[in-house]
Amino acid sequence: MNIHEYQAKALFEKFGVPVPKGVAAKSPLEFEAALAQLPDAPVVVKSQIHAGGRGKGTFTDGFKGGVKFAKTKTDALDYANKMFGNTLVTAQTGAAGRKVQTVYFTQASDIKKEYYLAILLDRASSRPVIVASTEGGVEIEKVAHDTPEKIFKIVIDPAYGLADFQIRDLIARLGFAGNEAKNAAKLIRSLYACYWETDAAMIEVNPLITTPTGEVLALDAKVSFDSNALYRHPEIIALRDLNEEDPKEIEASKYALSYIALDGNIACLVNGAGLAMSTMDIIQHFGGSPANFLDVGGGASKDQVVAAFKIILGDPNVKGILVNIFGGIMDCNVIATGIVEAVKEVGLKLPLVVRLEGNNVAAGKATLANSGLTIVSGDTMADAAQKIVKLVA
């Protein structure tokens, strides 16, 4: 689960990570009151969307920059009105962009230097890792590619936690000295506590900055959490912003379906995550392109299948559907009955290929055959994939 920058910064403050003062507004009616809470000094106006690269982004109406420096509060108000309700396209949003529904006003900081600092789970070592660089602010992927020696990694023993010598090492490698070093050490320790105690999956601060007076501040904040641990953090679940999530994915979660929207035109309905992955692979293998990942689980009910069809058809790009079921726990006839009901209920006009195998498959196939509906049967995965790819071509 992702949260907004303004929420992440509030969380940072709880853990003692210094951030510039800021106020979020969820409606233009709140803009003036929000600005009134900041000192009479330059303000940075920041679009709140769950995607990075906002500073270099462009709105669909041509307005440039999802992060704007405003010399005066009058300018800040003007920028906020241009951003709010407008759709911001960045390198991370995809072409459709994201509608800005919250604006964050933050005190402009005097930047001496920008750094990069992130804490995330390293899957290779199964440990938390701190990734840092003196080359912050710009795209870190580019630094990693062109000058990998400028990126430092510190792997943390989760049983011991972040050790003092590791912090000293990091501080030295980033070139901090004196007051900056002291403040940076404190910030890194607090940020690690935040990562650990909230069960975060990733915390990214880009840029982390120093100021001419020796302060060290988190100027940007991107935080995501491990969804498997959310049950023990109700205060974090409360930060969820459904505006930022695909409505189809929200609907799917209500029916305990694992659905992830993709860019292709062949919708898949599969039981089991592994089979769902290989179904997407085989569609690609035969020259097609999957519209989604959808796992109905090991023991889906008829209602879930009907819900799954409706969700799939909510995607206007879908030109055909491939159902691929291996009945282990699942009774193929339950799926078949669900399919027939769903097709009738939604009045399906698109080509549908179904491949059933396993538990009670004969009854399942009979249900499909006797339904009077145009359902193409696939004998094997390869056969079914080839058929649906041909039908949507």
Answer yes or no whether residue 210 interacts with ligand ADP by CB under 6 A: no
Q: Residue 67 binds what, of Mg ion, ligand ADP, none (CB under 5 to 8 Å, by partner type)?
A: ligand ADP
Answer yes or no whether residue 137 interacts with ligand ADP by CB under 6 A: yes
CA distance 24 to 29: 12
Answer yes or no whether residue 97 interacts with ligand ADP by CB under 6 A: no
Report the residue number, 51 or 368, with the smaller CB distance to Mg ion.
51
Pick the closest to residue 344 from 374, 369, 388 (CA basis): 374
What does R_g of the chain's alpha carbons equal in angstroms?
25
Residue 5: burial class (beta carbons within 10 Å; 0-12, 13-18, 19+)? buried
CB hemisphere CA count around 325 (13 angstroms)? 32
The bridge status of strand 222-225 relative to strand 200-210 is: antiparallel
Site for ligand ADP (CB under 6 A): which residue of 2, 7, 106, 367? 106
Report the residue number, 68 or 248, with the smaller CB distance to Mg ion.
68
Site for Mg ion (CB under 5 A): which residue of 2, 190, 198, 206? 206
Residues 213-232 that bind Mg ion (CB under 5 A): 220
Which amino acid, one-letter code, is at 131? V
Q: Residue 98 binds what, of ligand ADP, Mg ion, none (CB under 5 to 8 Å, by partner type)?
A: none
Minimal distance, residue 258 CB to ligand ADP, in Å: 29
Binding-site residue total for ligand ADP (CB under 6 A)? 18
Active site residue 244: no
CA distance 170 to 164: 10
Unique residue bearing structure tokens 């090492």: 169
Q: Residue 108 binds what, of ligand ADP, Mg ion, none (CB under 5 to 8 Å, by partner type)?
A: ligand ADP
Answer yes or no whether residue 20 interacts with ligand ADP by CB under 6 A: yes
Active-site residue, selected from the candidate residues 116, 192, 255, 259 = 116
CA distance 270 to 355: 10
Pick the closest to residue 91 from 45, 64, 55, 53 (CA basis): 53
Residue 314: burial class (beta carbons within 10 Å; 0-12, 13-18, 19+)? middle
The bridge status of strand 222-225 relative to strand 266-270 is: unpaired
Site for ligand ADP (CB under 6 A): which residue of 97, 128, 207, 351? 207
Contact 47, 88 (CB under 8 A): yes
Active-site residue, selected from the candidate residues 135, 180, 204, 215 = 204
Choose the binding region for Mg ion from 102-110, 189-197, 212-220, 325-333 (rule: CB under 5 A). 212-220
Active site residue 160: no
Minimal distance, residue 90 CB to ligand ADP, in Å: 7
Instruction: Just list the catalytic residues.
Output: 116, 204
| Binding site residues, ligand ADP, CB under 6 A | 20, 44, 46, 52-55, 67, 106, 108-109, 111, 114, 137, 206-207, 219-220
